[in-house]
């Protein structure tokens, strides 16, 4: 079993504004977040392209690389690696109708431009992973786009990224809905299908976020298992979610402990991390959280992962095998629950 390394994104520490109300905490500058992440025990940072280069549209390709090298120095200062760069395609005026799958050719071109700039940034930061969270790739009005064209546009966009740089890997982070109503690529199964249809499936894999799997009505541990079985689970975003509603990004394990345990169990059983993969967190602080507790949800999530790791190490695999042999799943289920409740 491998010792996990952890990653986090700057957006995981935020001022608490939501769709219904303004910010309630002070903004913290990037350098301070990096310093604190390092202190908390994170080894790598997840970035959106515009976390590295704010107002990215205003800059030339050379200026973008120059700005990225300043962030690289900050990472070095705090002994942090960059895990991935993700084009933030859902905020811009060009991506109102989606990025890669927009009905506007100009906007599709813009989405590709941002993706290639994300690759440039990743190279400067010393990482080779590009994450695509396909926020607006789908429909709000079902008849407004063809799902066939949508999926093909997506494959085409990924092929352009693969051609642009032969060393990068593309990780699709699936989510079934929100902000889009019907996503074109909602689960890890969809991701594997898209991967297989690209020009280099060996460089296209997945990143599974627990909350997104739950929103699809699926068990995150099973989704993790699917990606692992395909040899293409290159990232995870552990968090939690209370049922099928808006994306909550709660601290890991706070809603469904058994489900959280099974995520850690399957990752440990399959030596996740042995090829340099990180346990990423993608968690939000509650709106009620005070400034002084701005990092509490991260500390809690790390603590819960570590407590569950210890639970897996103490898990009686011999008893599991015996129950499986006797097809006594009632006993196995009770054992798991008692194991989790034992102090």
Smaller CB separation from ligand XLS, 283 or 336:
283
- Per CB under 6 A, which of residues 242..301 are in contact with ligand XLS? 247, 282
Residue of 114, 117, 129, 237 interacting with ligand XLS (CB under 6 A) = 237
Smaller CB separation from ligand XLS, 110 or 133:
133
Smaller CB separation from Mg ion, 150 or 174:
174
The site string for ligand XLS over 165-204 (x = CB under 6 A, - otherwise) reads: --------x-x-----------------------------
- Per CB under 6 A, which of residues 200..219 are in contact with ligand XLS? 209
Q: Which of 120, 116, 132, 205 is nearest to 169 (CA)?
A: 205
Least gap, CB of 278 to ligand XLS (angstroms):
13
Please count the other Cβ atoms lying within 10 Å of the Cβ belonging to residue 201.
15
Paired sense of beta strands 129-133 and 138-139, if any: unpaired
In angstroms, rounded to a whole number, what is the distance separating the alpha carbons of residues 152 and 155?
A: 5
51 binding Mg ion? (CB under 5 A): no
Residue of 282, 302, 309, 336 interacting with Mg ion (CB under 5 A) = 282
How many residues form the binding site for Mg ion (CB under 5 A)?
3
Q: Where are the alpha helices (DSSP H) in the chain?
A: 30-40, 49-52, 61-77, 105-125, 147-164, 188-197, 210-215, 220-229, 257-269, 296-313, 317-325, 329-341
HEC sequence for 72-108: HHHHHHCCCEEEEEECCCCCCHHHCCCCCCCCCHHHH
Q: Which residues are paired to 131 by β-bridges?
A: 171
Residue numbers at the binding site for ligand XLS (CB under 6 A): 86, 131, 133, 173, 175, 209, 237, 247, 282
Residue numbers at the binding site for Mg ion (CB under 5 A): 209, 237, 282
């Amino acid at each position: 079993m491998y010792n996990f390394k952890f990653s986090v994104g700057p957006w995981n520490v935020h001022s608490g504004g939501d769709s219904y109300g303004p910010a309630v905490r002070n903004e913290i500058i990037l350098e301070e977040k990096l310093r604190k992440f390092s202190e908390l025990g994170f080894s790598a940072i997840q970035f959106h392209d515009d976390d590295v280069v704010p107002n990215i549209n205003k800059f030339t390709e050379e200026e973008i690389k120059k700005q990225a090298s300043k962030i690289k120095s900050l990472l070095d200062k705090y002994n942090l690696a960059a895990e991935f760069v993700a084009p933030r395609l859902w905020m811009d005026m060009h991506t109102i109708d989606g990025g890669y799958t927009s009905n506007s050719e100009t906007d599709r071109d813009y989405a590709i431009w941002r993706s290639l700039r994300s690759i440039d940034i990743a190279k400067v930061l010393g990482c080779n992973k590009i994450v695509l969270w396909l926020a607006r790739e789908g429909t709000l009005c079902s008849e407004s786009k063809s799902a066939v064209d949508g999926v093909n546009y997506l494959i085409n966009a990924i092929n352009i990224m693969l051609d642009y740089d032969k060393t990068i890997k593309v990780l699709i982070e699936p989510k079934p809905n929100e902000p889009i109503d019907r996503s074109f690529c909602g689960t890890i199964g969809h991701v594997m299908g898209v991967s297989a249809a690209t020009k280099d499936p060996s460089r296209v894999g997945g990143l599974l976020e627990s909350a997104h799997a739950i929103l699809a009505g699926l068990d995150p541990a099973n989704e993790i298992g699917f990606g692992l079985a395909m040899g293409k689970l290159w990232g995870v975003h552990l968090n939690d979610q209370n049922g099928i509603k808006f994306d909550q990004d709660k601290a890991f394990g706070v809603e469904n402990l058994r489900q959280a345990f099974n995520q850690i169990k399957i990752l440990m059983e399959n030596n996740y991390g042995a090829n340099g993969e990180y346990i990423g967190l993608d968690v939000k602080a509650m709106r009620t959280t005070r400034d002084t507790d701005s990092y509490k949800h991260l500390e809690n999530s790390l603590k819960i992962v570590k407590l569950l790791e210890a639970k897996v190490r103490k898990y009686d695999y011999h008893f599991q095998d015996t129950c499986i042999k006797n097809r006594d799943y009632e006993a196995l289920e009770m054992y798991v629950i008692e194991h989790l409740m034992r102090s």
